[in-house]
Structure 1
Amino acid sequence: MRALSKPTLKHLMMAAVLIAAGTTVWAQSPSDDSLEPTPIWLSLIALDSDFDGVKNTLDAFPNDPSESTDFDEDGIGDNADPDDDGDGVNDIVDAFPLNASESADTDGDGIGDNADFDVNGDGIQEACSVASQKVWVRNTANTWYYWNDELASANIADYSTAQSYLNALVAPITSDGTGRDPGFSYMTTKTADQASFSSGAYYGFGFRYNVFEGDFYFADTYEGAPAYEGGLRRGQRIVAINMGNGFESWDSIIERGATNLEVFGPSDEPVTRGFRVDDNGVIRDITITKAEVSTPPLAGEPLLIQRPGDSPVGYLHFRRFIDSADQPLREASAFFGQNGVTDLVIDLRYNGGGLLRVADTLLNLLGGIRANFQRSYIVNYNDNQQRNNYTGYFGTESESMIALRIAFITSRGSASASELLINSLDPHVDVVLVGEDTYGKAVGQGAFDQSSECETRLRLITFEIQNGLGQGGYYKGLYDSGRFDLCPADDDVRKPFGDVEESSLETALAWFDGSAVCDGPAAAKSTALVPPIQDTWLIGEPPPIDREGGARSF
C-alpha cells in the first residue's frame, strides 16, 4: 500500500465539514483490485483543488484560490480583471460591470442607457436613443427586409447597439453561405451615406491596393486625394511602411501577421503613414495623411484604341455608380459615338455598384438605341411590398451610342449595379466577361431614416434585381449563373489602366478579333460557401469586398 502524506490542519478542518455532513468517498486502489477508503482530504482536493470553496467543476481557475470566475472569458479572473464584462469600460466607471450591453445609466433609474427610452429621466422618450434605434430597426426589417420571413428572433435587450442587433436579426441569411446578404445590410448616418453616393466621399488616403504574387501593389489612386497628390500611382510596389516607429519591411509586416487596422490606422482619424515604394526600379519614400476624399467616377479619360482597317475600340474605366458620374458618362458615350465606336471595353474590375438611377442612365446610353422601349430590368420586393415592384425600360438619350459588342473587365470587386448593367444589356448586346467572375450581389438596398431629427440611417437589402427577361439570382457571380462567357485574365497591377499590354485589356481586345481563349457558360453552379464580409484581415491577403459589394478604398 502507498504511503500517504499527512493532512494539514486546513485539510482536516475542511474534511470535518464533509464528515459532519455524512460524506463518504471510495476510490480504486492502484496496487490491487480491492476497494479501500480514501482519506477524505484527498477526495476534497479532487473536488476543490485550490480550497477556495468552489468545486473544480464550477471553478474557472481550479488551481488559483484567488479566482473562480471569468465573466467575459478573457482568461483574466474577475477579481483581477478591470473590465469583467469585456465591454471596454472599466468596472470602476461601469454602471453595469456584468452586462456587456450596458455601461451607463444617465438618469440612475436602473435601466441602462442602451435599453432606456428616456435616458435623461425627464419623462420624455428620446427619439434617437439606442433603445429607440433598435426598436426602429426591428420594425423596419420586419416590414422591408427582402427575406423578412427568415429573420432571427433575437432578444433586443441583449445588444448594446443598433448595428449589433441588426447583425443578430439577419444572421440566418448572413451566415448560411448562399451569398444573398453576407453583410450588405448595415447602419450608417445620413451625412456619410449622402456623401458616399453623391460623390463617393469618405475619410482616407485615397487608394485601392491588391496583392499580386505575394507583394502589395497600389491598384488605383484617386485624382486629388492625398495618395495621388503625394505621388502614389497604380503599379508601385511597397517595400516598407512607416507606421510611426520607422520603416518596417513588407516581409517583416507579413511575418508577424499585421492586420489592415494596424497598417492603415482608424478610418476616422488623420492618420499619417510613410510608404517606401519601388517605382519602376526607383525607390521612393512618400508620406501621406488621411483626409476627406471624393472618388472621381472615371479613372482617366475615355480612350480610343486604334485598329488597322477597322473602327477604334473605346475604353472606359468606370469606378462607381454615383451621382457625379452622370455627366462624365454622357460625355464619354457622345465621344465614342462621334468616333464611330461600336466595340467597347468597360472596365468595372473595382466597381461595386451604387445608385440605380445612374445605372439606368448608362443602360440608356449603351442600349437605348438598340432596345428602345424594351424592358431593361425588374425590381422585385418581398411578398408584403409587392405594390412597390417596378420595371425599367430602355430609352434613348441625346448622347446614346450604338454598342454592338461590349467586353466587361470584371473581378470579385464588380458587384450590384455593375452586375445589373451587364445582366440587363445581355439580351440586346453581345457581351463577355473578362478577368474573373463578378461578386454576385443580385439584390439592392433601400435607405431608411429613423426620423427627421435623427442622423441614423439604415441600409437594408429590400429587393432583388432581374433583367428584362426576368433572369436574376446570380448570388455567386454572373458567370456562375450559367449564362455568360468568361475570358480569364489577371488584374496586372504592374501596368496602368488603358495599357494594351495589361493582361485584362489585352484579353478583351483579343476577344474582339476572335483570338482570346474563353470559357463557355458555367455548366454547374458553385457549391462553395460565401463567408460573411470581414472588416479586419491580414494585410498580406487580398482585401475583402466592402459592404456595398465592391473593392475597398483606403
Structure 2
Amino acid sequence: MRKVLLFQWIIIAALLFSCTSNNDDGAPVFPEGSTESVNVWVQDSMRRYYYWADQMPAKPDYHLPVKDFFKSLLSSQDRFSFVVNTEDPSSYPRSIRNMYGFDYTVIQLTNGEVVTVIKLVLKNSPAFNAGLERGMIITKINGKVITAANAESITSSMKEQTVIDLKVGYWKNNTVADEKDITVYYGYSSEQPLLSRIFDKNGKKTGYLYIYDFPDGMTSALNQKFAEFKAAGVQDLILDLRYNYGGSVSSAAALCSLIPSGISVSSPFIIFKGNKNGGEVKRTFAQQIAYDPKSLDFNTLRANAMGLSKVHVLTSNSTASAAEIVINNLKPYLQVIQIGEVTLGKDMAGFIVEDKRKPRKISWQIHPVIYKVFNANGTGEYSKGISPQTNVNEYIELPLRPLGDPDETLISSALTNVYLKSANVQGPQHQVKILYQSDVPGVEGNIW
C-alpha cells in the first residue's frame, strides 16, 4: 500500500512540475521562461502561419530542446524552415559562404581526376582579402586532400572553426600549378555590388547583369543599371542568377518590372497561397514593390524599363527562392531563355515570426515556410527546381573565367544564343561530373 501511494505522489508531482493548466486549445501552460513555455509559443506560431500546419503532430514533446521541438513539427516536405535564438550566435545556420565568403565545387574530370574548384569569392570578404579568386583549385583544406568521399565531412568541420588553412593553385595545361598556402579567417562579408557589362557585336548591344542576391533597398541600384543599358541602346539582356539564393520578393519584383514591355501599375505579379489562416494573396508588380519601404515606386522604375520580348537567365543548383521567382514570374510577360543547370526548387516564401512584446520575453525567432508562390498565370509547384532549355555545365572548361567575361562558359552560351537567335543552342558538353557543392547542402538561413 505504501508503494502504491508513493507511486501516486510521484505522478502528481510530475504533473505539477510539467504544467499548471491548459489553454483553450488544449495546449498546456508552463512557467514563463521555461523551455516548455517557449515550445508552446513556437507551436502556437506555427499553427497560425506554417504552410503545413495541418500536418503538425497533435501531441508533441514539449520537454525537448527548442531546436529539436521545432524540427519535430516540420513536414517531411519542408527543406527550408529553421529557428534561431537571437541571443545565441551558435544557433544560427552556418555555411562556408556566410562564414568565409567563398564557395567551391568538387568535380570529376573526363580522365577520372577529382578537382576542387573555387567558383565564387565575395567582394571584400575574408576569402577575398586573403587572396582567393574564382577559378583557383583547392588541393588541400586543413592539410587534407579533398575527395568525393570526404568533401562533405571536411565542409562540416570548417563550419565549426574560425580559421581555415588552404593550399591552392591555378589550373594550367590540365594540371595544378603555382601552389601556395592561404589562411582564411571567419569574418564579415560586405554587401555585394551589381556587376554589369555591355557586349557589342556587329552593332547589336547585349546587357549583362550579375545579381548576387535580392536585399531590400536595392531598387535604386537596379534602376541606375537599367538607365545605363537604356542610354547605351541595349537590345538584349542576360541576367546572371547562378549563385543567387534569393532574398526580398519586393526587390525581385522591382527587377522584373524593368524588363518586359506591356505591363502597367495593375499588372499581376505574384500569388501567395498559405494555410487556412493565410489564404490566397494576389499582388501586382506595384503592390509587391511597395512592400519595401526603401524602394522606388513602380512608375519611376518603368521610366527606365527596357521593354524586351525575351530575356536570358543563367542558373545553377544554387539559384533559389526570389531568384526563382524572377524566372517563373516573368514567363507570363516575355520569353525566358534559361541557360545552365536546374535551380534549387524553393517555390516558397516566408517572413520572420518573433516575440513583438516590449520588453521581449522570448528570444527565439522562427523562419517558417508560410506560402507557396505562383506567377500571374497561376503556375508554380517547382519544388524539384526549374529546368533550363539549354543545359550547360559551367565546369566543362577550366580554369573558370571571371564573371562578366564574354568567354565564360555560361555567358558565351547565352551570347551565342542571342546572336544566332536560337533558344536551343547547346554549349560544348564534356563528361565533367559534379560530385559535391559547398553551397547546396544546408542552405537554410541563406535563401529568404
Give 2:123's aligned residue.
223
Q: Give the secondary structure class of the aligned counterpart of 1:291.
A: coil
- Following the alignment from structure 1 to structure 2, what is the Cα–Cα distance between the partners of residues 341 and 192? 49
Q: 1:249 to 1:494 in 2, by over 3 A?
A: same
Kindly state the Cα deviation for residue 236 of structure 1 after the two structures are TM-superposed.
0.2
- Following the alignment from structure 2 to structure 1, what is the Cα–Cα distance between the partners of residues 137 and 223? 35
Find the partner of 1:510 among 403, 416, 420.
Answer: 416
Q: Any gaps of 5 or more consecutive residues in structure 2? A: 1-12, 21-29, 109-113, 172-176, 287-297, 427-433
Find the partner of 2:80 among 170, 184, 209.
Answer: 184
- Following the alignment from structure 1 to structure 2, what is the Cα–Cα distance between the partners of residues 490 and 323? 31
Find the partner of 1:361 among 246, 254, 275.
Answer: 254
Is 1:469 matched with 2:377?
yes
Give 2:168's aligned residue.
277
Give 1:305's aligned residue.
199
Find the partner of 2:394 among 487, 491, 494.
Answer: 491
Kindly state the Cα deviation for residue 501 of structure 1 after the two structures are TM-superposed.
2.1
- Following the alignment from structure 2 to structure 1, what is the Cα–Cα distance between the partners of residues 235 and 188? 38
- Following the alignment from structure 2 to structure 1, what is the Cα–Cα distance between the partners of residues 342 and 435? 22
Q: What is the letter of the counterpart of residue 238 of structure 1?
A: I
Q: 1:153 to 1:322 in 2, by over 3 A?
A: same
Kindly state the Cα deviation for residue 226 of structure 1 after the two structures are TM-superposed.
1.0
Q: What CA deviation, in whole Å up to 9, does each residue of 1:473-518 have, x standing for no partner?
A: 1221223xxxxx6101012372221222222111111221337673
Q: Give the secondary structure class of the aligned counterpart of 1:337.
A: helix
Q: What CA deviation, in whole Å up to 9, does each residue of 1:71-128 have, x standing for no partner?
A: xxxxxxxxxxxxxxxxxxxxxxxxxxxxxxxxxxxxxx97999x689xxxxxx9434x
Find the partner of 1:450 among 351, 355, 376.
Answer: 355
Identical-residue share of aligned pairs (%): 24
Is 1:391 matched with 2:264?
no
Is 1:233 matched with 2:133?
yes
Give 2:263's aligned residue.
371
Question: Number of matched residues?
Answer: 387
Name which structure has the greater RCO, CA cutoff 8 Å, separation 6+.
2
The answer (yes or no) to whether the contact 1:351–1:415 under 8 Å persists in 2 is: yes
Give 1:288's aligned residue.
184
Q: 1:309 to 1:422 in 2, by over 3 A?
A: same
Q: What CA deviation, in whole Å up to 9, does each residue of 1:370-421 have, x standing for no partner?
A: 31231111122222222x6232235431443323321111112112111111
The answer (yes or no) to whether the contact 1:351–1:550 under 8 Å persists in 2 is: no
The answer (yes or no) to whether the contact 2:99–2:159 under 8 Å persists in 1 is: no
The answer (yes or no) to whether the contact 1:378–1:392 under 8 Å persists in 2 is: no
Kindly state the Cα deviation for residue 456 of structure 1 after the two structures are TM-superposed.
1.6
Q: What is the letter of the counterpart of residue 206 of structure 1?
A: G
- Following the alignment from structure 2 to structure 1, what is the Cα–Cα distance between the partners of residues 447 and 275? 28
- Following the alignment from structure 1 to structure 2, what is the Cα–Cα distance between the partners of residues 430 and 470? 17
The two structures, once aligned, show a CA RMSD in angstroms of 3.4
The answer (yes or no) to whether the contact 1:343–1:404 under 8 Å persists in 2 is: no
- Following the alignment from structure 1 to structure 2, what is the Cα–Cα distance between the partners of residues 477 and 255? 26
Give 1:533's aligned residue.
none
Q: 1:157 to 1:320 in 2, by over 3 A?
A: same
- Following the alignment from structure 1 to structure 2, what is the Cα–Cα distance between the partners of residues 258 and 130? 33
Kindly state the Cα deviation for residue 439 of structure 1 after the two structures are TM-superposed.
1.8
Kindly state the Cα deviation for residue 191 of structure 1 after the two structures are TM-superposed.
8.3
Give 1:541's aligned residue.
436
Q: What is the letter of the counterpart of residue 135 of structure 1?
A: V
- Following the alignment from structure 2 to structure 1, what is the Cα–Cα distance between the partners of residues 16 and 155? 30
Kindly state the Cα deviation for residue 224 of structure 1 after the two structures are TM-superposed.
1.0
- Following the alignment from structure 2 to structure 1, what is the Cα–Cα distance between the partners of residues 421 and 410? 14
- Following the alignment from structure 1 to structure 2, what is the Cα–Cα distance between the partners of residues 286 and 316? 31
Q: 1:260 to 1:239 in 2, by over 3 A?
A: closer
The answer (yes or no) to whether the contact 1:314–1:344 under 8 Å persists in 2 is: yes
The answer (yes or no) to whether the contact 1:154–1:165 under 8 Å persists in 2 is: no
The answer (yes or no) to whether the contact 2:213–2:246 under 8 Å persists in 1 is: yes
Kindly state the Cα deviation for residue 221 of structure 1 after the two structures are TM-superposed.
0.9
Q: Any gaps of 5 or more consecutive residues in structure 1? A: 1-108, 118-123, 175-180, 480-484, 521-538
- Following the alignment from structure 1 to structure 2, what is the Cα–Cα distance between the partners of residues 415 and 131? 34
The answer (yes or no) to whether the contact 1:218–1:235 under 8 Å persists in 2 is: yes
Q: Output the TM-score relative to the length of structure 1.
A: 0.63
The answer (yes or no) to whether the contact 2:243–2:316 under 8 Å persists in 1 is: yes
The answer (yes or no) to whether the contact 1:352–1:548 under 8 Å persists in 2 is: no
Q: What CA deviation, in whole Å up to 9, does each residue of 1:202-246 have, x standing for no partner?
A: 8511111112323211111111111001110110001223x3xxx
Q: What is the letter of the counterpart of residue 443 of structure 1?
A: M
Q: What is the letter of the counterpart of residue 315 of structure 2?
A: T
Q: Output the TM-score relative to the length of structure 2.
A: 0.77
Give 1:170's aligned residue.
74
- Following the alignment from structure 1 to structure 2, what is the Cα–Cα distance between the partners of residues 152 and 229? 48
Give 1:317's aligned residue.
210
- Following the alignment from structure 1 to structure 2, what is the Cα–Cα distance between the partners of residues 201 and 390? 36
The answer (yes or no) to whether the contact 1:413–1:550 under 8 Å persists in 2 is: no
Is 1:501 matched with 2:407?
yes
Q: Give the secondary structure class of the aligned counterpart of 2:436.
A: coil
- Following the alignment from structure 1 to structure 2, what is the Cα–Cα distance between the partners of residues 496 and 192? 37
Is 1:426 matched with 2:334?
no
Q: 1:303 to 1:548 in 2, by over 3 A?
A: farther
